[in-house]
Amino acid sequence: MDTTVDLDTFSSLVERPDDSARRAADERWQEAGRPRGGLGKLEELGSWLSSVQGRSPVRPVSAPKVLLFAADHGVAALGVSRLPAQGGTAARVRAVLDGSAPVARLAARYGADLRVVDVAVDSDPADFPDEVVAHRIRRGSGRIDIEDALTPEETVRAFRAGMAVADEEADSGTDLVLLGDIGVGSTTVAAVLVGALCGTDAAAVCGRGSGIDDRVWMVKCATIRDSLRRARPVLGDQLALLGATGGADFAAITGFLLQAAVRRLPVVLDGVVSSACALVAQRIAFRAPEWWRAGQSSGEPAQAKAYDRLTLTPLQDQGITVGEGVGAVLALPLLQAAGDALAEEAPRPFVPAAPKEQPKLPSAADLLRRL
């Protein structure tokens, strides 16, 4: 198995979305005699869909897929989350698979398929279906404040696993990915990556994650601080950064985002984890963010900094911090509406409605006779 990745090739392989299709979509809307900006955000989204599809009129979104990468993180053992470090991630994966998790219900409500990719959940692989663990790299990851999350070989394998998932989705006909994650301690890892790439200190990127109190926030902030010291020496090497202070899910999501852009597969980002991976991916291929949209603002300071650097504006601000792709799924109706509103309309011949038979009303004489 090839254990290397030539990151430089992504810069040449990732092309910009089709600008001519975008312009055609804008012109088509104006030629229809509708006021410019009349549909607000839907017009911009419809034009974006045209550009990533490379066609105008836009094709309505018909095969969306909720894609969740799952992994455990060694820093969870420090108590940086309200969720249990032992078994918490596995329990959330089971809830998604059995349909009881909010993201599973919302995906069904909006007509999206759902897929979970376990790359490093700390559980027995036999706990989940074969298709879920097909890309598993390892169980859990190292504590990034004192050790690397992954070995260099594991980092490459995880990155390539994400690329393989992108190819699988593109080949299966998925036309829009709603990207999320499942993992206790993942917001801490995301804050480290964003803080390192944006050159900020720990306090500026440390959020409340799972709803932690002030005491736990200080523990989390100290963990991010110590991890940033380990991240800064490898900032020039994205794979080394993902291996030192990321994790298998972060490496896989980064590989997925880049290969999805190569395959012209549009992606809606969810929370701080996917935004952190997007920031790493941008360092590898600067055009890649044009294939993504930010589903929502979670209120995490690291996510806000990442979106500012990526020049992405969240479609919604619902303050959803649960992860699991919920925020991305809630953006799906907007994209579906944009595709439907600006899609080609089949001409329909005018058929006058058949006159309705009116009830016979009594005349004045009839009424008088009844009195």
> Is it the case that residue 350 has pLDDT exceeding 60?
no
Q: Give dist(CA 189, CA 302) in Å, integer.
A: 10
Query: Does 3.40.30.120 match the CATH number of domain 61-333?
Result: no
Residue 125 has a pLDDT of 92
- Report the chain's mean pLDDT, rounded to a whole number: 90
The pTM score is 0.89
pLDDT (mean) for 129-149: 96
Give yes or no for a contact between 304 and 200, defined as CB atoms under 8 angstroms apart: no
Helix (H, G, I), strand (E, B) or coil at 98: coil
Which residue did the predictor score with more confidence, 343 or 75? 75
C-alpha distances (whole Å) from 94 to each of 75, 80, 161 are 22, 22, 22
pLDDT band at 211 (very low <50, low <70, confident <90, very high): confident
Alpha helices in the chain (DSSP H): 8-13, 19-31, 41-53, 88-97, 102-109, 130-133, 152-172, 186-198, 202-205, 214-231, 238-245, 248-262, 272-284, 301-310, 326-342, 364-370
Reported as type and span, the H/E element at residue 268 is: strand 267-269
Residue 138 has a pLDDT of 96
C-alpha distances (whole Å) from 333 to each of 224, 248, 340 are 36, 31, 10
**DSSP notation for 306-351:** HHHHHT---SB-------TTHHHHHHHHHHHHHHHHHBPPPP----
Residue 163 has a pLDDT of 97
Q: Which of 44, 154, 300, 324 is catalytic?
A: 324
> Is it the case that residue 88 has pLDDT exceeding 60?
yes
Cα first-last separation, the chain: 99
Give yes or no for a contact between 215 and 126, defined as CB atoms under 8 angstroms apart: no
Whether 324 is a known active-site residue: answer: yes
Residues counted in the chain: 371
State pLDDT tens for residues 316-335: 988 787 788 999 999 999 99
Residue 66 contacts by C-beta under 8 Å, 6 or more apart in sequence? Answer: 103, 107, 112, 113, 114, 115, 178, 180, 325, 328, 329
Give yes or no for a contact between 295 and 331, defined as CB atoms under 8 angstroms apart: yes
Q: Where are the domains of the chain?
A: 61-333
